[in-house]
Amino acid sequence: MVHLSLEDLYKEVILDHYRSPRNKGRLDPYDIVLERNNPLCGDEIELFLKFDGDKLEGISFDGKGCSISQASASMMAERLQGASIKDAADLAGGIKRMMAGEEEGDDDELGELIALKGVVKYPVRIKCALLGWDTLVEALEESGKGVPS
Ligand code: ZN
> What is the pLDDT, as a whole number, of residue 5?
83
Q: Say yes or no to pLDDT of 69 above 70.
A: yes
144 C-alpha vs ligand 1 centroid, how far in Å?
Answer: 29
> What is the pLDDT, as a whole number, of residue 145?
85
Euclidean distance between CA atoms 29 and 54, whole angstroms? 17
Contacts with 112 (C-beta within 8 Å, 6 or more apart), sequence order = 9, 13, 75
73 C-alpha vs ligand 1 centroid, how far in Å?
Answer: 11
Band the pLDDT of 149: cuts 50, 70, 90: low
Cβ count near 46 (within 10 Å): 18
* Every domain of the chain and the residues it spans: 6-141
Residue 31 contacts residue 67 (beta carbons within 8 Å): no
- 6-141: CATH number: 3.90.1010.10
42: nearest Cα among 133, 125, 117: 125
103 C-alpha vs ligand 1 centroid, how far in Å?
Answer: 22
Q: Say yes or no to pLDDT of 87 above 90.
A: yes
66 C-alpha vs ligand 1 centroid, how far in Å?
Answer: 4
54 C-alpha vs ligand 1 centroid, how far in Å?
Answer: 31
